[in-house]
Amino acid sequence: MAINKKIKELQEKREQMFRGGGEKAIEKQKALGKRTARERIMALLDENSFNEYDLFAEHEARDFDMDKKSLPTDGVIIGSGTIYGAPVAVFAQDFTVAGGSLGLMHSRKITKIMDHALKMRMPLIGINDSGGARIQEGVNSLAGYGEIFFRNTISSGVIPQISVILGPCAGGAVYSPALTDFVFVVDNISKMFITGPEVIKTVLGEEISMEDLGGAQVHSEITGNAHFFATSEEECFDQIKKLITFIPWNNSLKAKPFEQGEPNPEFNINKIVPEDPTLPYDVKDVIRAIVDFSDFFEIMELYAKNIVIGFGRMGGRTIGFVANQPLEMAGVLDVDSSDKAARFIRYCDAFNIPIITLVDLPGYLPGVDQEHAGVIRHGAKVLYAYSEATVPKLTVIIRKAYGGGYIAMGSRHLRADFVFAWPSAEIAVMGPEGAANIIFRKEIMSSDDPDGMRKQKIDEYKAKFANPYVAASRGYVDAVIEPSETRRLLLHSLAVSENKSIQMPDKKHGLPPF
Amino acid sequence: MKQNEKLEVLNIDTSLYKTRISKKFRNRKPYEAADPHMIISFISGTVLDIIVKPGQIVKQGDDLMILDSMKMQNQLKCSIDGKIKNIPVKKGDKVSKGTVLLELE
């Protein structure tokens, strides 16, 4: 039958396209420890769930002998599929085809799947592995990037957007990942920068390797551009799949509820926090003592470790956690930790995820570098993000909540719905040492024994103000609770917040300090 | 948190906290006030031309030097009135950011 012949022809055409840039190019890709674009999509999505579009796309470039060249799929694979049954739209740049370079058709394929994802209100995952603009296509390449950035921006806060950097992502191309919600990187494979080592050497005379300039570790630890760090592509895909289970498909939905379960009893909430407020502990253990199955999925684990952010579940529901980390830099707020927390709070708010804040911080980090780096502007982002968030906001003050840090960390004054404090909480305008030095300056200076007097005054201040009861007497704290009551009270608070409704004044948009 | 981990001390508002110290905090540069008598290269580049000579009296706003950088000829102007003490670079030198280009008395 004639149709059989036609089907065979289609199969052959497909096979040819599936070979991408050919054997040699694929070998090169593998030698770098990288999978091909097609293998990556298959590894990421549920089995047999991928539907590809525009397999036979061809470029129309004419200059520089491009009319004689055919580029299979034009260097990018697009389509949709599922992850644990959740629908996702995907594009994956194919480095084996002309170095994954972005020309007009390549970009049209990407924008097509972006438009599709936005229209269908489903998450978009972009796998980046590209040498950059296709120089032969000139300004058309630039137009392509611009069209992608525009869509990233318009889709922001409507559908989840995830970027996976599995190769070079250089020049203007970096701005698409930067505009998305979460960026995944893999050690020794991801490279991101605006200007590469060669340009830097030529122009500025500074020598640096690609890895040291914009490798996975750099973006995870120093720049904060990446949110998830993995040591292999496989680990990276596992992280993406796990993230997908925590987030909703779009901003009109809540994340799918999961099986409920008690925390692991090895995390004994009564024993984690030392009584002495100058001694550290790992706040992640407190989170693990509260969340279902003690399963806490941390985000930006290596950046600004003095604040911890991530997802956990309570009663099967996704919760965003923001917690000061006394183990790192005493848990202070500074430029980087403010940026990290503020963006995450806005993410949770955009995607209907309640926020639980755990407070234990001595205040802001002092220093010329901090002031000159704009800690005023960056710190203000936290105030802004908490204030504008309308999702349920629950705050637990574990120990220290001093000064501006108290206000910033999801306080009642920024409209937390529930504020609980442990008996160990110290809610005060500043730490006892600093406060006593100011308030009792005269007494201490004029005393025959200034050190003894200082100690006495510090103790007096501690007894009177370093507790949760002053704040509780004003209603700034709703209840002083035993640590072991925390999970039960949070579950109850979340349950009664299910239909929280808040009317904000009409505006086009606010002006957050960025 | 590892058992018996050696922690450091961070002073916040005269309270001393036992904690880990970040690399960024440890490597921060102590602040030094800028000296208006030292003209420092604000960007890497090539010294294209030196307009003044040692010993010359200069006024605020006078052209001192042209530094070729980022495809631009950047004019370096004098920030204060003074006398040229020393010019440690010569025409054609490639300089990196932070290099002393000229000293005023």
The DSSP-derived string for A131-146 is --B-GGGTHHHHHHHH
Domain with A458, as residue range(s), is 432-465
Q: In this complex, is the C-beta atom of A450 within 8 Å of any C-beta atom belonging to chain B? A: no
Cβ-Cβ contacts under 8 Å, A205 against chain B: 44, 94, 96
Determine, for residues B13 and A363 on separate chains, whether the beta-carbon distance falls below 8 Å. Answer: yes
The string over A414-424, giving b where at least 16 C-beta atoms fall within 10 Å of a residue's C-beta and e elsewhere, is bebbbbbbbeb
Residue of B1, B17, B67, B74 best to disrupt the A interface, most CBs of A under 10 A: B17
A54 and A97: one domain?
yes
Residue of B19, B27, B68 best to disrupt the A interface, most CBs of A under 10 A: B19
Cβ-Cβ contacts under 8 Å, A306 against chain B: 22
CATH number at residue B88: 2.40.50.100
Q: What amino acid is encoded at A5 in this protein?
A: K
Nearest-Cα residue of chain A relative to residue B44: A204
- The Cα-based distances of B83 to A118, A403, B36 in angstroms read 65, 50, 12
Question: Which of A487, A362, A493, A369 lies closest to A435 in space, CA to CA?
Answer: A362
A229 and A365: one domain?
no
A198 and A220: one domain?
yes
Question: Which of A259, A270, A300, A267 lies closest to A284 in space, CA to CA?
Answer: A267
CATH number at residue A190: 3.90.226.10
Domain finish residue from A465, A483, A507: A465
CA distance B17 to chain A (A): 4
* Residue A238, domain member (yes or no): yes
* Residue A275, domain member (yes or no): no
Nearest-Cα residue of chain A relative to residue B18: A279
Rounded Cα distance between A167 and B79, Å, is 46
Mean pLDDT of B22-44: 90
A231 and A309: one domain?
no
Question: CA-based diameter of chain A, in Å?
Answer: 110
Q: List the beta strands (DSSP E) in A268-380.
A: 297-299, 307-314, 317-324, 355-361
**DSSP letter for each residue of A5-72:** HHHHHHHHHHHHHHTTT-HHHHHHHHHTT---HHHHHHHHSPTT--EEE-TT------GGGGGG---G
Q: Cβ(A263)–Cβ(A288) under 8 Å? A: yes
**What contacts B82, CB < 8 A, 6 or more positions away?**
B37, B57, B58, B104, B105
Question: Which of A142, A188, A150, A151 lies closest to A166 in space, CA to CA?
Answer: A188
Q: How many domains is chain B partitioned into structurally? A: 1
Question: Which of A152, A212, A209 lies closest to A177 in space, CA to CA?
Answer: A152
Rounded Cα distance between B66 and B73, Å, is 6
Write down the pLDDT at residue A1.
64
Determine, for residues A329 and B14 on separate chains, whether the beta-carbon distance falls below 8 Å. Answer: no
Q: Which of B17, B31, B96 sits opposite A278 (nearest CB)?
A: B17
Q: In this complex, is the C-beta atom of B13 within 8 Å of any C-beta atom belonging to chain A? A: yes
Element (H, E) at A114: helix A104-120
A402 and A458: one domain?
no
Determine, for residues A280 and B1 on separate chains, whether the beta-carbon distance falls below 8 Å. Answer: yes
Q: In this complex, is the C-beta atom of B46 within 8 Å of any C-beta atom belonging to chain A? A: no
What count of other Cβ atoms lies within 10 Å of the Cβ of residue A473?
A: 9
Q: Structure tokens of B74?
A: 């950047």
Cβ-Cβ contacts under 8 Å, A202 against chain B: none
φ/ψ of residue A153, rounded to 5 = -70, -45
Q: How many domains is chain A partitioned into structurally? A: 3
Q: Which of B15, B29, B43 sits opposite A278 (nearest CB)?
A: B15
**What contacts A127, CB < 8 A, 6 or more positions away?**
A37, A40, A41, A44, A90, A91, A92, A93, A164, A166
A358 and A461: one domain?
no
Domain with B53, as residue range(s), is 38-104
In whole numbers, what is the pLDDT of chain B averaged over residues?
Answer: 91
* Residue A501, domain member (yes or no): no
Q: Which of B20, B31, B44 sits opposite A205 (nearest CB)?
A: B44
* Burial bucket for residue B105 (CB in 10 Å: 0-12, 13-18, 19+): exposed
Write down the pLDDT at residue A457.
92
* Residue A505, domain member (yes or no): no
* Residue B33, domain member (yes or no): no
* Residue A509, domain member (yes or no): no
Q: List the beta strands (DSSP E) in A85-174.
A: 86-93, 124-130, 161-170
Q: In this complex, is the C-beta atom of A286 within 8 Å of any C-beta atom belonging to chain B? A: no
Determine, for residues B97 and A204 on separate chains, whether the beta-carbon distance falls below 8 Å. Answer: yes
A129 and A166: one domain?
yes
* Residue A502, domain member (yes or no): no
Q: Structure tokens of B93?
A: 């030198």
A288 and A422: one domain?
yes
Residues composing chain B: 105
A451 and A486: one domain?
no
* Residue B80, domain member (yes or no): yes
Torsion of CA A421, A422, A428, A431, to 10 degrees: -150
Cβ-Cβ contacts under 8 Å, A373 against chain B: none
Determine, for residues B29 and A369 on separate chains, whether the beta-carbon distance falls below 8 Å. Answer: yes
A437 and A479: one domain?
no
A161-170 and A124-130: which strand pairing? parallel
Q: In this complex, is the C-beta atom of B1 within 8 Å of any C-beta atom belonging to chain A? A: yes
Cβ-Cβ contacts under 8 Å, B18 against chain A: 278-280
Determine, for residues A336 and B7 on separate chains, whether the beta-carbon distance falls below 8 Å. Answer: no
State whether the Cα torsion A447-A448-A451-A455 is positive or negative. Answer: negative
Rounded Cα distance between A371 and A390, Å, is 30
Residue of A204, A217, A305, A370 best to disrupt the B interface, most CBs of B under 10 A: A204
A88 and A180: one domain?
yes
Cβ-Cβ contacts under 8 Å, A279 against chain B: 18
Residues composing chain A: 514
**DSSP letter for each residue of A228-284:** EEESSHHHHHHHHHHHHHHS-SSTTSPPPP----PPPTTS-TTTSS-SSTTS---HH
Question: Which of A208, A249, A227 lies closest to A165 in space, CA to CA?
Answer: A227
What does DSSP assign to residue A333? B
Question: Which of A396, A370, A411 lies closest to A290 in space, CA to CA?
Answer: A396
Cβ-Cβ contacts under 8 Å, A434 against chain B: 13-15
Question: Which residue ranges of chain A lie beneath pLDDT 50?
Answer: none
* Residue A147, domain member (yes or no): yes
Q: In this complex, is the C-beta atom of A330 within 8 Å of any C-beta atom belonging to chain B? A: yes
* Residue B72, domain member (yes or no): yes
A216 and A103: one domain?
yes
Nearest-Cα residue of chain A relative to residue B15: A433
Cβ-Cβ contacts under 8 Å, B24 against chain A: 222, 336
A191-193 and A228-230: which strand pairing? unpaired
Question: Which of A125, A105, A106 lies closest to A114 in space, CA to CA?
Answer: A125
φ/ψ of residue A93, rounded to 5 = -75, 140
Rounded Cα distance between B44 and B69, Å, is 7
End-to-end CA, chain B:
55
Rounded Cα distance between B13 and A365, Å, is 9
* Residue B93, domain member (yes or no): yes
Rounded Cα distance between A73 and A36, Å, is 13
Cβ-Cβ contacts under 8 Å, A339 against chain B: none
B64-103 residues touching A, CB cutoff 8 A? 69-70, 94, 96-97
Determine, for residues B10 and A330 on separate chains, whether the beta-carbon distance falls below 8 Å. Answer: yes
Q: In this complex, is the C-beta atom of A265 within 8 Å of any C-beta atom belonging to chain B? A: no
Q: What amino acid is encoded at A379 in this protein?
A: G
